[in-house]
Chains A and B, each alone.
Chain A
Amino acid sequence: MSTQSNTARVRELIRTPFFWGIVAILALLALNVIKDPSYLALTINETNGNVVGNLVDILRASAPILMIAVGMSLVIATGGIDLSVGSVMAVSGAVSMEFLKGASNTNSVGVAMAAVGLALIVSALLGAVNGVLVAYIGLQPFISTLIMMLAGRGIAKVITSGQNTSASSDPFRWIANGYLIGLPVVFFLAIALVVVVGLIVRRSALGLMIEAIGINPKASRMAGIKPTGLLLTVYIASGVLAGVAGVMSVGTVMTVDISRTGYQLELDAILAVVIGGTSLAGGKFSFSGAVVGALLIATLDKTVLFLGVSSSATPAFKAIVIVVLCLLQSQRVRSWFIQRRRPPTTLSESKAQQPREEVPV
């Protein structure tokens, strides 16, 4: 009896969309362990009590991706897409670095906070421009945010006069590199923000309405939902979260690199969302899925480095892992495997006792 309910539970687990994401993370870690058995080892730095190790690095690297993946989940759920997040990261980094460079007392917490605040306000504005273009002007999200993706790098260049700007500020640096009870601050910050956004979305009716307009915009309008305000909110949220990611990303080196900061990260974010089981067609979305997706992307990036895959082969390696993952997630591919394993003669008997997987459409 208990084994039966256990298999049912396993069956359910396998069907959760991000199950294979978790499997992929474990597989990549295993691959690293094969290369170096001490890969997973965590040591404690004796001078400051911080935990160090590859796993901690992965957590730290996943933080910016987590931020933009959460924003991207919301945008994708409405049936849209936000291609500008990488560029917004660069703008956010440029604003904060330029502000700190010009400020006098950069080591005061207040000045660092002001730098972060200013960066987030500018990011929110860029998100709002996206939102206005999509919600009020009625441009396609792909086009609106593509414009912002191209314009964003230009804006960042204007802000820094085309230079890669550096600054020093210990409190600012602490956000990206500091430790709290032995673990990286950025990771706590990222998880806290995911939880806060998650609570806001699911405790209010925001999540329901976003899903409704993503699934059927016409019917949602007829039900009295006003899409414009919702869309604007969602694009602003995506902008702000990209701004946070930008702060995290420049904070590690205290330099904004106009052409590299956040470069192509919008694609990582979209991948993280898709791996998490949210359909690009819009509708139902899952933050837990996006978290798994972001962790997988970070693990993948670190693994590529650790295995010493040559930089020219890196994109291909990443692509292979993701294709395999998508195949495993595909309902059709899975049903092929299930049919192959089961001899056809017993098909009808065994089928009778099992819960059906198909749902009438």
Chain B
Amino acid sequence: MSETLPLVEMRDISIAFPGVKALDGVDFRLFQGEVHALMGENGAGKSTLIKALTGVYKIDSGAIIVSGQERQLHGTADAQNAGISTVYQEVNLVTNLTIGENVMLGHEVRGLFGINWKATHQSATEALKRLGLDTLDTHKPLSTLSIGMQQLVAISRAMVIKAKVLILDEPTSSLDANEVEGLFRVVRTLRDQGVAILFVSHFLDQIYAISDRLTILRNGKYEGEYLTKSLDRHDLISKMIGKDLDTLTSLGGNRRHTRRDAATEKPLVSLTGLGKRGAIEATDLDIHRGEVVGFAGLLGAGRTELARLLYGADRADRGTITLHDKKLDVKSPADALDAHIAFSTENRRDEGIIAELTVRENLILAVQAKRGWARPVSRKERDEIVDRYMTELNVRPSDPGLLIKNLSGGNQQKVLLGRWLATNPELLILDEPTRGIDVGAKAEIQETVAQLAEDGVSVIFISSELEEVVRLSERIIVLKDHKKIGEIVNGPDVTAQQVVDLIAAHGVDSEAAASAQHVVENETRMKDHS
């Protein structure tokens, strides 16, 4: 990493999309034998920069210099010829082919009579050996490997073309701690062989564990290049979001101190024995006006399942819901919306946004659905709703005519939040509202939740980040194995550790305790299990 010539140099790169300047004069350098992390919030331009380097997007201005030679990259084939190889977040492999076939796909060794399979598998074994994976049997189907090992196979496939530059885009998002360690061993091996590695991840711990140098982008602009060891976390986050971290952590942090006398106050919503076979066992729960109730538990513990029954997204097969002392029969989400219950899904892409519609249309959709098609939202009303929530929730870019799919994840989430708020809910269910979005947007959403409760809206807050649940909720419902196992009234002395202990103690399962711990440690983890 001395001041030799960089292997890749991107100078003054700009790319504009309709309505958005995705990259604005960005510089980037990548040296031989280093792991370089590309950092920034969602929408900062990381993916765009990577796509410029892999030839997916054409650059509007600037220059890309690889090995001292300026290159025009039109398409991924050009990038591969320049020695640049990419491994994406989702594993792009064919699971029912063998490991060897996957590694060599498109580069099979050919003999006189077509493909020479013996030599192909031999080359595959060599390719895997270079990564220290010589124990794998190349004749076994890829599907016999864990996701983590498949990711390593994907890397060895990327290295078959003898790449000088390897781009790893969020490679760890679906891996557990051991698999991440395995991946890092391979990355270090490659680095020591002189490969330049560009690494993108949301996990700060991993950035500090693996990277030598990092470049920060903010709002499509170049923030700076730093040696990882000389920049502490606090400074890194501040530079990513352009604000001081302390102002962010103080936001929404005061909710947990307010307490109510649950015994005397009448609940807004009561669930009595609400359940569904195979999803969630019969559950009792009261929610009061203006209360934030957190659902804590591991993924698949029944948090989402319970919320979906309450919203009518799934039909309960037992139990009742009582709202304002009246029995409520929710057969569909439309019924729930009529009763002023709104639900923001954890699955933003598949169940949240309507990608091809504009931000404006997405915002008013629930209000419109509530009214039925025959009574359209008037232009004036629509503009009021759009103006109000775009400003209040700070949606960027602030052009309601853009298609929502062109917004970053955090901003899509804000638009969806606006969609539900526009229906004037009395109970708002937020399922993983901060998953996969950046620190700044996260704080803004947490602040909104606190403000809503202040205004008398009840909120069910579901999150894998226990810290967040503990910080925002007045009461925490703990779920495990499709069952409610406890309730914690929040207070200054309640910590995420207590919740973990409760989960771990229940049924005395040491493995569960370990994975519960894992949830806390990976608090900024983005999980996409669609």
Contacts and interface: CB of A to CB of B under 8 A. Distances in A.
B356 A284 contact: yes
Contact of B369 (A209, A348, A360): A209
A223 B369 contact: yes
Interface string B230-258: 00000000000000000000000000000
A219 B368 contact: no
Contacts of B352: 219, 222
B332 A215 contact: no
B88 to A, nearest CB: 14
Interface stretch (B14-22, B32-40, B163-171, B200-208): B14-22
Nearest to B366: A223
Contacts of A219: 350-354
Given A204-B373, A216-B355, A226-B332, 18 more contacts: A203-B376, A205-B374, A205-B375, A205-B377, A208-B357, A209-B368, A215-B356, A216-B353, A219-B354, A220-B365, A222-B351, A223-B365, A224-B334, A224-B369, A225-B365, A347-B72, A356-B16, A360-B22
Interface string A332-358: 000000000000000110011001101
Contact of A224 (B16, B18, B58, B337): B337
Interface in B359-377: 361, 365-366, 368-377
B174 to A, nearest CB: 22
A230 B334 CA distance: 14
Interface string B12-50: 000011100010000000000000000000000000100
B333 A224 contact: yes
A347 B72 CA distance: 10
Interface in A266-286: 283-284
A208 B16 CA distance: 29
Nearest to A211: B357
B373 A218 contact: no
A226 B17 contact: no
A222 B343 CA distance: 8
Contacts of A356: 16-18, 60
A361 interface: yes
B331 to A, nearest CB: 10
A212 B355 CA distance: 9
A111 to B, nearest CB: 34
B350 A225 contact: no
B180 interface: no
Interface string A192-232: 00000000000111101101100110111111111000100
Contacts of B343: 222
A358 B15 CA distance: 11
A198 to B, nearest CB: 14
Interface string A134-177: 00000000000000000000000000000000000000000000
A352 B61 contact: yes
Contacts of A223: 333, 354, 365-366, 369, 419
Given A348-B72, A356-B18, A360-B406, A224 B366 contact: yes
Contacts of B361: 208, 212
Given A219-B354, A224-B333, A359 B373 contact: no
Contacts of A216: 350, 353-355
A358 B406 contact: no
B365 A226 contact: no
B345 interface: yes
B357 A225 contact: no
B342 to A, nearest CB: 9
Interface of A: 203-206, 208-209, 211-212, 215-216, 218-226, 230, 283-284, 347-348, 351-352, 355-356, 358-361
Contacts of A215: 354-357
A212 B374 contact: no
Contact of A218 (B18, B57, B350, B423): B350
Contacts of A361: 405
B5 to A, nearest CB: 23
Interface of B: 16-18, 22, 48, 57-58, 60-61, 72, 313, 332-334, 336-337, 343, 345, 350-357, 361, 365-366, 368-377, 403, 405-406, 419, 423
Given A223-B365, A226-B334, A356-B60, A209 B351 contact: no
A224 B370 contact: yes
Contacts of B372: 205
Nearest to A355: B18
A331 B366 CA distance: 34
A254 to B, nearest CB: 38
A284 B355 CA distance: 11
Contacts of B403: 359
Contacts of A208: 357, 361, 365, 368, 373
B373 A212 contact: no
A358 B57 contact: yes
A348 B313 CA distance: 51
B373 A209 contact: yes
Given A230-B373, A351-B60, A359-B17, A220 B354 contact: yes
B72 A225 contact: no
A222 B308 CA distance: 10
A230 B373 CA distance: 9
Given A222-B313, A224-B366, A224-B370, A351 B58 contact: yes
B333 A212 contact: no
A334 B332 CA distance: 45
Given A204-B373, A221-B332, A352 B366 contact: no
B376 A225 contact: no
B12 to A, nearest CB: 12
B406 A359 contact: yes
Nearest to B308: A222
Nearest to A339: B74
B349 to A, nearest CB: 9
Nearest to A209: B373
The 9 A-B residue pairs with the shortest CB-CB distance, nearest first, are: A224-B369, A224-B337, A225-B369, A205-B376, A205-B373, A224-B334, A206-B373, A223-B365, A223-B366
Contacts of A358: 17, 57-58
Contacts of B405: 361
Given A219-B353, A219-B354, A226-B334, A205 B368 contact: yes
Contacts of A222: 313, 333, 343, 345, 351-352
Nearest to B332: A226
Nearest to A203: B376
Nearest to A361: B405
Contacts of B336: 224
A61 B361 CA distance: 38
